[in-house]
Structure 1
């Protein structure tokens, strides 16, 4: 352990001859190398701050400006129009009797004045370039233009964006150039809301809702809007901080199932069946990604097929982050660095150092350390095995127990290690994946395991927890408050690709690399859990964290199924958006299942704006309902176009739900009640959907390695009587679906029969489109 090495780096004894120092040069060398690594990171951060601080220019451009100014001065011209002379007058002049020395000082003063002017001019040019780039990135009309019909404005806009983005950017280079999220006009939001609920309400219900909306718009709404616009003037993003706090951190219910989501391994391939080896490569790949994030070496994410950047702010808290519970609200804690990960295996917690003398351990060394944990036969300490259930249950009991039992002593030290770890790793003693005589059932159990596990063998508060199963299968569970799924999906894509195609394994399934024999053992965490706390953890009594979590986990039904009949390749041939095609098929499936329509949530990103998170696409529209009830191909085209327009409006800041949510928050701060807002925000999302986009297709060669297909991930249902549907469009010929619901609702069981309903809907649409 690092502390132990530092503690014995030197020893001394007092003798009659004086003090006898005994130095351990090996330990001192490790301390030196660790310090070098820390200073390299500091220097790298300063360098990156300078590079991204002057983007879209470069630091070297200052030299060109300075040379240009000096060259014009040499030619007896004053490009500053007298400013250099004024700067010179404010510089101290040393008087001397020697004429030659006086001339030298005057020349030096002129040079300094010219360099000061050059620097000011350079900074002004940078601000002007950044302002121009911000204006260009604020133009979103290009998204609404039909394919192949580009307007003249867009034709001019495209090369200008390319010109200002020509320099190779760092991960965060565009942050200061991204526009702020605009506040929509309240009449536009109310109008769009009424249009979205029209197919769901009867005529009397719609009349009543229209009256509520009109009364709100003409009275209280304008007052709330003024406060919201005031916030938008000084806040980076008028939605994100309130969204994070009130939707996530202030929720007092369990985050397991209700908030956290999961990501799965390859569908058909498991790179190795050796658990420790898979853990070694996976941990290494994650740490390599962290290194890229810290050095800002990752390319900024962009709108697919364009040069338009997306906000990268969510990457900042990806690692070394945990959500700590509070009685009223939770808090996200982030540390700049962490040289270890926390590992759970069979009820024991370990700290695994992943750096040695300033270098990252090799995959083979991490595998060796993981194997030591797997071979450790020591039993869990009293209360240790099910300690993780505290993070799975209600937040208030966890906050109270944390304050009472984990605020001092060994419990605090061990808890700090888990929370400060780069991420959390669970070495699961089960086997998972699509295998055996019941591949479909095993796939469902695999999804449930990643979503909640045993309710105590994950640390749901960590930014993400990696799960490595006994047969080498892997997956992750991610906490939602710090980032949205696309950010975690980007990380997981890199991890899977790096594990399988770059790091690789030996013929016998072990990691590559050498092992340093003097590596210290993984550190077993020590706990001193009182009997009353242990009883609350181990007993399934009513109200305990484990009982609440177990009841929630037992009620969740998950079904995962790959749809292979056709994919986006054939859909695009019909000039239809694949996402719109799937969303309309979900509407059709729900209608045939329940005999009606429901409020439908589809997540859309708003990362075109600084610190953007998500917006809701209300994909149940008048057009989609008309198509489903009349089954007309022409109406399908209208429904598809309408869905695409709704998606684009959500992406460009013209959504409905985030604006209404923020108006509701303002009303709560002012202490006023709005019947309209209260009713809008209490409406249940019985069909909650999300697409997991494949963002780095260059990492996966599906042509030569067709079996390395990602399964994507999923989440729990939002409403007790609804569905949670996640889907990932893989390649040209496959769509993977994740459907969740609750057993407690007899109308929503996402079993094989329910999956057939979705498949039937997709097949019906296919028949309509491919019929002669």
Structure 2
């Protein structure tokens, strides 16, 4: 079916293992694990046959075996206890066979009994719950070691939870765009809502995986779940759909949309915390073979000068000039990062070499110790030709998100959709009294409107949005 990866652990380190192919999925439903074969007699199952097989899993009345329901929590808690439990309880016999089945599956599927999506009288709040559910679920109903888990909710909404070590977000986003477009515009559904295609009624039933989990292992599962749940409950997550304007208006001002958004984030953070902080923006280095990312340090002398000038009410022309200088500096840094001339991967290599040689470097110790209190990333919308967002706005995506990097910081992911929309995912921690995802989202909204009002010759409809943004604060 596909190349697949699994993060496999030992007592000393995690390793990424790669298998060339797999012809089945691992499926989780109501505390049970199943193997779902995707081929029969050498051919791929039709969509209708896959639906037929999944329905068999949904209709299976058997209860979870002792310890099975929350087994996935081992992949969500601390790594060392999972490594020890793996060695002691999953090294042979039925447990090893079932664990191998999960780890060698093409990918993991969770049939979630919850309903998610934009629902009811609080669509923004329901989007927050939707995103938070995809981030960690119940902490035991995802298999966090798998390359990715597809989550299918009771009301048909779907999403992905991706493990980060094997690939960056654009890879997963590219895959998911193709899946959504193929499902909607090519495969489709019949009048009754079923998948199209024929059924072979003699298909073998999905195989229920067996486990023999002793009380000692069940205790470790409970401990891992407590650790994971404490982390998950601390995440404050907010989805901010911004539709007042998009990259179309920004580009009319002859400004890079990404630079515009990054300057808005600097302004929002300054208004939120009254200071500046080390800011991380991910840049792809896919110009190079096996290139992953480099860091754009978006908080620059130029961005700070602009934000201070705007915050202190200096002349608009002066602020515009500083704003364009800051945008040009950001674009320069982004080009350097993309072409292999960034600094952070170089610093990391020096750090690795210093550890190997046993050399203490005061410089590296200081430069790598400062936390990224504002960690940002743009989720690319890469296959725009697959979607007609003007005539079919129901296919607009919220994009993806991630948790905060620092205990007292924010994680901000954003996706630029079409010409007229930007969606943000904002995260922080409830345990930090100085951060609040909804408040920071309101600051982002106001900052975007303020910047457009500053640089756009057309002031029409901006002031209305700005008044609403100030009310949100």
For this structure pair, what is the TM-score category when the shorter chain's length is used for normalisation?
Answer: over 0.9
CA distance in 2, matches of 1:499, 1:362: 13
Shift of 1:327: 1.9
Shift of 1:705: 1.8
Instruction: Say whether residues 1:366 and 2:45 are aligned partners.
Output: no
Please, which of 299, 304, 313 is the counterpart of residue 625 of structure 1? 304
Deviation >2 Å, runs of 4+: none
Instruction: Say whether residues 1:588 and 2:267 are aligned partners.
Output: yes
Q: Which residue of 2 aligns with 1:694?
A: 381
Please, which of 415, 428, 449 is the counterpart of residue 741 of structure 1? 428
Please, which of 341, 357, 370 is the counterpart of residue 25 of structure 2? 341
Does structure 1 conserve the Cα–Cα contact (< 8 Å) formed by 2:4 and 2:107? yes
Shift of 1:703: 3.2
Does structure 1 conserve the Cα–Cα contact (< 8 Å) formed by 2:351 and 2:364? yes
Q: Which runs of 5+ in 2 are unaligned?
A: 311-318, 459-473
Count of residue correspondences: 450
CA distance in 2, matches of 1:628, 1:681: 26
| Residues 223-277 of structure 1, C-alpha deviations (whole Å, 9 max, x = no match) | xxxxxxxxxxxxxxxxxxxxxxxxxxxxxxxxxxxxxxxxxxxxxxxxxxxxxxx
Shift of 1:771: 4.6
Residues 163-562 of structure 1: pairs in structure 2 closer than 5 A: 290=2, 319-537=3-221, 539=222, 544-562=223-241
**What secondary structure is seen at the aligned counterpart in 2 of 1:713?**
coil
Does structure 2 conserve the Cα–Cα contact (< 8 Å) formed by 1:323 and 1:333? yes
What's the Cα RMSD here? 0.9
Shift of 1:320: 2.6
Q: Which residue of 1 aligns with 2:331?
A: 644
Shift of 1:535: 2.4
Q: Which residue of 2 aligns with 1:658?
A: 345
Q: Which residue of 1 aligns with 2:443?
A: 757
Does structure 2 conserve the Cα–Cα contact (< 8 Å) formed by 1:410 and 1:526? yes
Q: Which residue of 1 aligns with 2:365?
A: 678
**What secondary structure is seen at the aligned counterpart in 2 of 1:707?**
helix
Does structure 1 conserve the Cα–Cα contact (< 8 Å) formed by 2:241 and 2:422? yes
| Residues 119-173 of structure 1, C-alpha deviations (whole Å, 9 max, x = no match) | xxxxxxxxxxxxxxxxxxxxxxxxxxxxxxxxxxxxxxxxxxxxxxxxxxxxxxx
Residues 21-170 of structure 1: pairs in structure 2 closer than 5 A: none
| Residues 69-92 of structure 1, C-alpha deviations (whole Å, 9 max, x = no match) | xxxxxxxxxxxxxxxxxxxxxxxx
Q: Which residue of 1 aligns with 2:466?
A: none
Does structure 2 conserve the Cα–Cα contact (< 8 Å) formed by 1:432 and 1:446? yes
Shift of 1:755: 1.5
Please, which of 236, 254, 264 is the counterpart of residue 575 of structure 1? 254
Does structure 1 conserve the Cα–Cα contact (< 8 Å) formed by 2:109 and 2:150? yes
Shift of 1:441: 0.9
Q: Which residue of 2 aligns with 1:768?
A: 454
Higher helix share: 1
Does structure 1 conserve the Cα–Cα contact (< 8 Å) formed by 2:234 and 2:430? yes
Shift of 1:437: 1.5
Higher strand share: 2
CA distance in 1, matches of 2:406, 2:308: 25
Does structure 2 conserve the Cα–Cα contact (< 8 Å) formed by 1:320 and 1:334? yes
Please, which of 279, 292, 295 is the counterpart of residue 613 of structure 1? 292
Q: Which runs of 5+ in 1 are unaligned?
A: 1-286, 291-318
**What secondary structure is seen at the aligned counterpart in 2 of 1:529?**
coil
CA distance in 2, matches of 1:749, 1:551: 18
